[in-house]
Every structure is written in structure tokens, then in C-alpha cells.
Amino acid sequence: PPSRGLRLRVVDHASQSAVASEAESVLRPLYMDVQATTPLDPRVLDAMLPYLINFYGNAHSRTHAYGWESEAAMEHSRQQVASLIGADPREIIFTSGATESNNIAIKGVARFYRSRKKHLITTQTEHKCVLDSCRSLEAEGFRVTYLPVQKSGIIDLKELEAAIQPDTSLVSVMTVNNEIGVKQPIAEIGRICSSRKVYFHTDAAQAVGKIPLDVNNMKIDLMSISGHKIYGPKGVGAIYIRRRPRVRVEALQSGGGQERGMRSGTVPTPLVVGLGTACEVAQQEMEYDHKRISKLAERLIEKITKSLPDVVMNGDPEHHYPGCINLSFAYVEGESLLMALKDVALSSGSACTSASLEPSYVLRAIGTDEDLAHSSIRFGIGRFTTEEEVDYTAEKCIQHVKRLREMSPLWEMVQDGIDLKSIKWTQH
């Protein structure tokens, strides 16, 4: 009788495997860019696989077991995400990532309360998607205050208080900065917003699962979360929206009314299961990861600064997430250092803006000189980074900075005691 069930299909993978083996023969660089994205934790993949293969039902199908089992998995994930930030599961809305969550929070709140409130406050060092959402609201007639930050990268709370107006609907300040790792005083900002009856949104993509967060203690009304920054899958995230006192948002996407009408579209069960598991793993391992990452970060900074003069750490060293280290190497072009360190995956800023040669707007906001801003490199240390990788990165970095400085006429002039600031350069 003909065999029933799955039949194996023989496919010619020769061409594909040739490409793969060619790639494997060249060693891949070490990965030190965990602010851009993180590898999937194997435990997350294990949790996701059944929902990619056997349990493929639409979580919104009400009439059969396929739908029910997917819905149960989705609600379990909602619980896992909520538990990590001290929220109620009904306050978690699944999205495609932190960019969408930020858009929903900022545009959604502004548009819902537009009849009475026309003013928003954010900071100059926010992620591009927050700044661009604010820009598009300005085009709709809203007023936006972009608060400057101090040299440390932290906002001045007095300036925030002074900026709040009677018609301010929302304050949006990120928890941990994606370029310099600076932690804003979220609980204090929450208290100020709550006392002035203004909603408080925080983009916590770089902080969730890495530092303890509690939406009630910190008086946070809306929070953006990303899956791929916490060893979960790409293409999924969440937004926390407070229920008591209730925060209303105008939905950006029309459709079948899923996710309490705030985010229509079929919820992708496998991705959401991945996000939930990533949150649970992060909750279990947060303390251990933090200790380990702090140690590795200290080791990297100490090795580099011991061997090289004129290295500046950008951002407040105290109020800082240790896994994000942004260093400026004076008299070295950051891009040439990145090219030289081709066996280590690093970046000179955020992945979203790394295509432009402009120096980072975050570094400009903290008052970094243009030349130092161009010489900055971001080192990311994560859950799977090893001591050997840190040592190798530090050694290579020291070696190439020394080599590039020896080639630099500016470095030579500085060694001869010439103050570069005093030189009048002529334009030819």
C-alpha cells in the first residue's frame, strides 16, 4: 500500500551547501554587538518549535482545538511578559517590536487626547522611532519639547518639571540608552508625571529583562518591549498599557480587533511564545547575568584603559547598564578602527543610523566634541559573551588603536605637546 503521512522529498542542496561550507571555512567574527540584536536563547527555540510545526492553529479561531491550544499558549506568554515587569496580563498587548510599540504609545495617546491636550515631552537622546513619531505629530499640529540631557546623558528633573504644561498629555523617556547605556531616573520621572497627571511612557527595549523594572513602583503608564533584545525572536514585541487608572490609545492599525482592539492582526503564536519564554528566562537569570556581565565589562574597560591613554567612556559611569560600553579613542577614526577589528562584530552607534556618516546624535547631545564622537565604538556584552572573547577584543582593540595612532599626524602633534584646539587650520 502507498505510504501514508509525511513523505521525504529529496532536494538538491549542493549549491546551498557549497555556499555554506565556503562561509564556514572563513571564521566568523566574535559577536560584541548585543545592543543591535541578541542571539536566540536555545531554551526559547525549544519552546517555539512545537508552535511552528504541530500546534499551528490561529489563536483567534474559536471553534476547534487548534485555536484553543494556540490561544492558551498566547495567554501563557502574556502572563510571562507581565510577570517580568510587575503588570497584569490584561495590560500586555503583543506587537511586532519596540518600534511599533513606541509608535502606538506616542501617536496613540497624543491622538486620543488631542481635543484637550496638544503637548508632549521627550528627550534628545531617544531612539529614532520615538523622535520620528514626535516629528510626525508636530506635522499634525502638536507641540513637542525635546529635553536636552546633561554631560552624563541623564535629564535634569527640574527641567522636566518646568517643561510640563497644562495641556501636556505624555512624557516619553527611555529607560536605558541604546548607544551609551545610560539609565534614566525612571522612578523619579514616574513620580513627577503622576503628581502632574501626565501619562508616562518609557521605551524599555534595552532594559527589560536586564535590570529590575516594576511598572507600579516606577509609576509607568506605557512601556515598550522588544523580543530580539532579550534573546527572543525578531519581529515580535509588546506594549504595556496601564488599566488603572486607564490609559486610552487610538489604534494605528485597523482590522479584526485583536489585542483589545489596540493592535489588529493575527497574533503570531510561535513568536509570542518565544517572547514569553525569553521573558521568563530573563527573570530567572537576571541577577546572575547582571553580575557576570558587570565583571566582564569591568575587565574590558580595565584592560583597554590600562594600556591606552586618551580613552573616554561616554555617559554616566554610575547610572549605567554595564553591558553597553561606549568608548571614544582620541585621534583615531572610529570607522577605521571598526574596519581594522573585522574579526569582532562591533558598531559605532545604533544599527538604525549606522549607514550615515554623521556622528551619533546621542553623543552630540551629551556634548561630545565632533572629533571624539567620530572616534567612538560601542562594545556590547551579553548572556553568551565569554571571558576569552572579552580578552581577545581588548587585545585587538589596543593593538589597532596603537597602530592607527602611530599613523596619525594629530597624535604626533599631541605627543609633541601641541594643543590642537589652538591651531588655526587654513581652508585651501
Peptide bond into 317 cis (omega under 30): no
User: Which residue, among 96, 102, 105, 99, has the nearest Cα to 272 in the 3D structure?
Assistant: 96
142 in Cβ contact with 172 (< 8 Å): no
Determine the 3-state secondary structure of 74 from DSSP. Answer: helix
Written as nine digits, the cell of 383 is 548572556
The whole-angstrom separation of Cα 335 and Cα 376 is 9
Amino acid at 400: H
Written as nine digits, the cell of 219 is 509609576
Cα-Cα-Cα-Cα torsion 173, 177, 179, 180, nearest 10 degrees, comes to 120
User: Which residue, among 231, 186, 180, has the nearest Cα to 204 in the 3D structure?
Assistant: 186
The verdict on whether 352 is a catalytic residue reads: yes
The whole-angstrom separation of Cα 208 and Cα 92 is 14
The whole-angstrom separation of Cα 189 and Cα 192 is 5
Cα-Cα-Cα-Cα torsion 27, 32, 37, 43, nearest 10 degrees, comes to 80
CB-based burial of residue 284 (10 Å sphere; 0-12 exposed, 13-18 middle, 19+ buried)? Answer: exposed
Written as nine digits, the cell of 258 is 485583536
> Reading across the β-sheet that carries 237-241, which strands appear in turn?
92-95, 237-241, 222-226, 199-203, 168-172, 119-123, 143-147
b/e map of 199-238 (b: 16 or more CB within 10 Å)? bbbbbbbbbbbbbebebeebbbbbbbbbbbbbbbbbebbb
Determine the 3-state secondary structure of 9 from DSSP. Answer: coil
b/e map of 65-89 (b: 16 or more CB within 10 Å)? eeeebbbebbbebbebbbebbebee
Q: How many CB atoms lie within 10 A of CB 412?
A: 13
Catalytic residue among 193, 324, 352, 397: 352
Catalytic sites, residue numbers: 352
